[in-house]
Structure 1
Amino acid sequence: MTALDVPVRNIVGDIDKPRGGALAALVRHSVALARRSLIKTIRTPEALIDVTLQPVIFLLLFTYLFGGAIAGGDRHAYLQFLLPGMLAQSLAMGGIALGQNLNADIEKGVFDRFRSLPVARSAPLVGAVAADIVRYLTVCVVMLGFGMIIGFRVETGFLPALAAVALAVGFGLCFCWISVWVGMMVRTPGAVQGTMFLLVFPLSFGSNVFVQTSTLPGWLQAFVHVNPITPLVGTIRGLLIGGPVAHPLWQTLAFMAGLLVVFVPLALRGYARRA
């Protein structure tokens, strides 16, 4: 018996009795499969390194190694500017593991067992994405908690900070469908990681995460303005340390809707061909 056999077997009791309509069945099946994903995470806590230790290292690296040069020696001011951007970057990078895990499950035959169960066709993907909420909440808690330890301060209040976390998690759930799609298209988990890094790194560094957009060359500013990370960072900054929120918020919501409209069908189509 492998470590994955028990979770797959345990979910059968939650999904073998049809109740309600198709939508209710999809929700019920997705919740059961999300529970399976969470069990895997609990049994392998080292899988959370990318949303715990890695963000801390990046925050320390840019604050204390580059912060003095970028901010003219005022590292506290740079930390206030940097942390909201690093939060957005960490959420984008946190979704990479989802595509890797799904790809690995397909290669190991786990999805063959799902096909033998009375579950909605898309439930394994929806359940895996829903379980990723835990990863994104972990990123937010780690970044804000450790940031406050080294000097970051929320300047707007509890409710705006809570709204920033909610928006960040929502964006992560939309953005991770890119990773799901890539996981359905490439052959190995390693290829998922390599492909997603090629996407996430230009989006992270070609944005307003680390420096003000006005300091960048004109041609790069044009890319920054159409980068979905940019308005997300602007909104989180406004909610955490003050500043304009309405305009970048609407841009962020538009990008989130666009990600869902484009990549959810692509991911489901790739899943239908692969699994």
Structure 2
Amino acid sequence: MATALITGASAGLGLEFAWQLATAHHDLVLVARDADRLERLARQVRAAAGVQVEVLPADLSDREQTERVAERLRDRETPVSLLVNNAGYAVDEAFVGGDVGKQEASLDVMVRAPMVLTHAALGQMTERERGAILNVSSVAALTTSGTYSAHKAWVRTFTEGLAADLRGTGVTATALCPGLVRTEFHDRAGIDFSNVPSVAWLDARSVVSTALADVRRGVVLSTPSLRYRAASGLLRALPRTAVRAIRGGAGGVAGRGASLVP
């Protein structure tokens, strides 16, 4: 039975990845900061899906804790076949005048950790000529919503370069680039999206099922829903001056360093 390791597994898209992979008969390694929440989830998944579930509490803004997860990914006795680099969050303050320590922590979680964990996983994956990396980026990678956009742009570009490097190895790399998804992401970031029309929102279940289907097909850039594929095409086609102007008109949300899309 294949094993998937999911970071940020206790909530949001990570939680949905855990359930969908478990019901598809994948054993799981669940990574997040909240050990109690992970243990509750593990008990529920074991009971409902009958799969093996490991719990690995770790704060990915801490290099030593990230290394513990990397060591699990290097394990050739019980290899991980799918790595889902999902952990991430928006910093709820502006970069200018804000706490640079908070910005460094978010960089560690969304940039350094995926790089370190991907490198750790690829050793055994390329050796076995089997495996997949799924990195959660965002449509925000194409916008200018502060450091969050910058982090997600790195994830997107990193994944594209990785996919080229992995060609012919039997291992694939996919970047998931969703738009607004109904999870607790925005509440945690303190972002009010009550005025956003319902048509803009995606369902976590469909986002994850699309992502996993794209991983199976070896798709490099996975953007769930026609409307966000269209939006992504428009953002790529627009002059960057226009993209920056859109950011400036976002009601101050992006100005706080938060993102319009997870």
Normalised-by-shorter TM-score class: 0.3 to 0.5
User: Given the two structures, how large is their TM-score scaled by the length of structure 1?
Assistant: 0.31
Return the structure number with greater relative CO, CA threshold 8 A, min gap 6: 1
Which structure has the bigger radius of gyration? 1
Instruction: Report the structure, 1 or 2, having the larger strand content.
Output: 2
